[in-house]
Structure 1
Amino acid sequence: MSEAASTRVATSKSKTKSTTTSTTMSAPPPQTSSGAGAADSTADGAALLSSLAPLLHAWLPGQRWFAGKGQPVTRFSLVSATEILPVSSAGTGPGLLHLLVRAHQPGLPANAPGDCYQLLLGVRAMLPPRLAAARIGRLQDGPLAGLTVYEGLHDPRVAELLLERFRRPGPLGPIRFDQATAIPAGLAPRVLDAEQSNSSLVYGDAYILKIFRRVFPGTNPDLELPLALTREGCRRVPAPVAWFEATAPQPVTLGVLQPFLRGARDGWQLALGALAAGRDFVPEAHALGRATAEVHIALAAALPTPALRRSQTRQLVDGMTERLAAAARAVPALVPYVPGLRTAFDAVAALGHEDTGWAVQRVHGDLHLGQTLRAEDGFWSLIDFEGEPARPLPERRRPQPPVRDVAGMLRSFDYAARSHRPWNDEWAARCRAAYCEGYAQASGSDPRGEPELLRAYETDKAVYEVLYEARNRPDWLPVPMAAIQRLATATD
């Protein structure tokens, strides 16, 4: 995140095609707009997907943002297909297909929808050598037989086209492009190679475009919350410049264009640099605590702040307990610690029976050092408000106690310290204290004043980390397991 004009747009507007199937996001699929080609059909979409399926079976599970690792894909179904840039009949230039595709995997009820993924596929007769690494494969049959498809975002001509679509907002089949402020033309694109659950393009060091890969019905918090914070005048979050979405039967956020904070460095790299140099990170942690509190204050002003009552506390605890049980089934190393970890959740449940009315509000939802940027003048910003991508969108949009974000950042300081050799436990403890002190100065409320809730959220986060590392980075599993051992024996 610290890194995000084609003249053929008029042609693509006049020739836009859109196909949909009866597969839905949770209701009927997006419908073709009146400007789309009338000759398209469900059969065309089915033929396209059938020809792509063998390539997708091999390519999709290997992508960093594919959520269903460890399970085979049994079949694909098409939600929508939009030809953003028509394939050249002479094969002299790229075409661009926008697809929303469901990947169906074992373990779900027969009628349950699979995860829906957004694909931007370039199509060429011949792939230039510079795009060889982006190659998905050559189609053997179907409407694009004999052509090569590839990851379109790696093609500068395709990336330029996307920016041009934002510059000229409006509908394109089942997709709509919206703009908040004017965007200049002619900005050179580049793809960010950093590991992340989505994909990002940077345009001329001026803007960053985040493409959501696994998409859900509803407005993504990474658009919703920055827009709300912008309305409140909060400067801690880059304001959305433009965005695009599937438009029916309800909005499905596909991507967001924001200012690129040139020269800013993310908190994770800064923390690791401090550890490597033997430097303290206390001033930075304190300032970051203040920044977090300012964002929470602005979110509370912009959006509803209900109280967490007994039934909701029970629901919260049940969710944490269920996630612990599921993680223990998947990661046997967690099993011996389950009884101790459950005491953290039981303590919150006990307070809930006393009808403790914790204040809840919209929060970041996945806050850690890698979701922060510090400018050259020392100003901290918070980014990536999508929440934990593995969790359902309604859950990510649910109001939560602000201490949830605090717990995530405290875990991140511990992660940084554990990632360094030798492990510097005192460094992490000083950062954790400074962060809470900075938060308290800005908000008037010290998050350590709610120890039961803080421990429960830290525990829930560590359980999430264990499951994530076991599935994606087994070499990192000892990092959250060290926290599991501590949290399982904690008394407050």
Structure 2
Amino acid sequence: MDGARVRRARPGDGAALALVKALGRGSDASFGFSRWDGHAVTEERAIDVDQSNESVIVSGPDGGAVVKWVVRVSRDGDPAPERVARLVKHGFDAMPRPWGMAQWCAEPGRPPALLAMVTALVPEARDGWEWAVEDARAYASGAATLDDSATTPGATLGRIVATMHLGLADEDTPLADSERAAAWKADALETLDDALTLMDGDELARLTRHADALRAELSALGDAAGTPLVPVHGDLHVGQVLRGADGSYRVTDFDGNPVASPAERLAPQPAAVDVAGMAQSLDHVAYVVLHRTPGVDAEAVERWRTTVVDAFLSAYRETLADAGRAELLDERLMTPFRTRQVCREYVYAGRHLPHWRYVPDRAVRARFEDPADPVVTKDGPA
């Protein structure tokens, strides 16, 4: 309260501290609190970065945590609580250690809505759009070996994502039916149509030139009936992987794709959705480096790209195979889901971040044209 007025709580008001304290109080008819870990905290401060939700750091003598408040609460349910609970149960430790969560039951019979998630603070954490770009630049400049900058990080990511899927998957996995496969195909083709509508200039010309080939790749999703379904992360890319001061990697944000429908976010999906998303994002790291680093050795960046992606995929497959669950990855779906992700990047650029259009444009160029040819953009050579 501000006098007679009600305002939204700000970092420093104590709301995040109060939530952490409330995690151990149990549940009532309206609110549910879950607690897995944690300790006393006495201070809170804002995180000053762009984010779809609102995060506040709370800290105390024994360390800190991040309270992530959900800005747009879904009355249809949220995938994060069930995903995180499964991973906690299976001892998955390659994520910020969960302390607990708060949920709200708006109406009897409806799924509870996630209000906030609390996870341990990863000291000096940077996401993959920082550390992976730095790794690629380090190799291209001769400051790091290919093993240190690509093979080891890629293999580590592969093992982490496979272990995550092993923890999320049911022992007896459900299989997609033809109706689900047809919906994936329709959604992917609609995304391509949206991309064509939103682009212009050279990007539109290139996208139009290869639209039939892209449609052919996306249409393969219509033949995906029978593929195993897993409660996947749903929005997995390098930006969802934190690397801390200790060099360890942790997957974060299990809320699913923010632009997907609630039904899609909650439904189990093919493991290939996550694997393709991560692999494609590693490609995109290379395109960011090429675009933003004047004079960079393009051949070295290409070596980094192919090496890190190959290491990621090899380690992922090997980890599943060692666990006797190789069937979780349907290899038929890798190309169409990677292509769908490229189309989604066009749409994201067209609706929210116009400058980003060079990334999917480079992806299409690398897929269907000579990736060695320079692409001239408004900012100069890409």
Q: Which residue of 2 aligns with 1:274?
A: 135
SS at 1:361's partner residue? coil
Equivalent AA in structure 1 for residue 75 of structure 2:
P
Assess if the C-alpha contact under 8 Å between 1:463 and 1:484 holds in 2: no
SS at 2:155's partner residue? helix
Q: Which residue of 2 aligns with 1:144?
A: none
Alignment of 1:202-351 (within 5 A): 202-204=57-59, 205-249=63-107, 250=110, 251-278=112-139, 279=144, 280-301=149-170, 305-332=173-200, 333=204, 334-349=207-222, 351=223
Assess if the C-alpha contact under 8 Å between 1:307 and 1:360 holds in 2: yes
Assess if the C-alpha contact under 8 Å between 2:184 and 2:221 holds in 1: no
Question: CA distance change for structure 1 residues 179 and 452 in 2, over 3 Å: closer, same or farther?
Answer: closer
Alignment of 1:84-163 (within 5 A): 86-88=1-3, 97=6, 121-122=7-8, 152-163=9-20
Q: How many Å separate the matches in 1 of 2:39 and 2:3?
A: 27
SS at 1:281's partner residue? helix
The TM-score normalised by the length of structure 1 is: 0.63
Q: C-alpha displacement at 1:489, in angstroms?
A: 6.8
Q: C-alpha displacement at 1:486, in angstroms?
A: 3.7
Q: How many Å separate the matches in 2 of 1:443 and 1:182?
A: 29
Q: How many Å separate the matches in 1 of 2:226 and 2:14?
A: 54
Equivalent AA in structure 2 for residue 429 of structure 1:
T
The TM-score normalised by the length of structure 2 is: 0.80
Question: CA distance change for structure 1 residues 239 and 220 in 2, over 3 Å: closer, same or farther?
Answer: farther
Q: How many Å separate the matches in 1 of 2:331 and 2:169?
A: 22
Unaligned runs of 5+ in 1: 1-85, 90-94, 98-120, 123-151
Larger radius of gyration between Structure 1 and Structure 2: 1
Equivalent AA in structure 2 for residue 307 of structure 1:
L
Q: Is 1:360 aligned to residue 232 of structure 2?
A: no
Identity %: 26
Assess if the C-alpha contact under 8 Å between 1:289 and 1:436 holds in 2: yes
Q: C-alpha displacement at 1:261, in angstroms?
A: 2.2
1:194 to 49, 53, 56: 49
Question: CA distance change for structure 1 residues 295 and 336 in 2, over 3 Å: closer, same or farther?
Answer: same
Cα RMSD, aligned residues only: 2.8
Q: How many Å separate the matches in 2 of 1:415 and 1:404?
A: 16
Q: How many Å separate the matches in 1 of 2:66 and 2:368?
A: 41
Q: C-alpha displacement at 1:270, in angstroms?
A: 1.7
Q: C-alpha displacement at 1:381, in angstroms?
A: 2.1
Q: How many Å separate the matches in 2 of 1:182 and 1:230?
A: 11
Deviations 1:271-302 (A, max 9, x none): 12212322332211111100100000111147
Assess if the C-alpha contact under 8 Å between 1:232 and 1:301 holds in 2: no
Equivalent AA in structure 1 for residue 220 of structure 2:
A
Q: C-alpha displacement at 1:375, in angstroms?
A: 4.3
2:255 to 380, 383, 386: 386
Q: How many Å separate the matches in 2 of 1:158 and 1:277?
A: 42
Deviations 1:1-49 (A, max 9, x none): xxxxxxxxxxxxxxxxxxxxxxxxxxxxxxxxxxxxxxxxxxxxxxxxx
More helix by share: 2
Q: Is 1:180 aligned to residue 35 of structure 2?
A: yes
Q: Is 1:433 aligned to residue 313 of structure 2?
A: no
Q: C-alpha displacement at 1:390, in angstroms?
A: 0.9
Equivalent AA in structure 1 for residue 351 of structure 2:
R
Q: More relative contact order in 1 or in 2 (CA 8 Å, sep 6+)? A: 2
More strand by share: 1
Aligned residues: 340
Question: CA distance change for structure 1 residues 290 and 181 in 2, over 3 Å: closer, same or farther?
Answer: closer
Q: How many Å separate the matches in 2 of 1:329 and 1:284?
A: 37
Equivalent AA in structure 2 for residue 441 of structure 1:
E
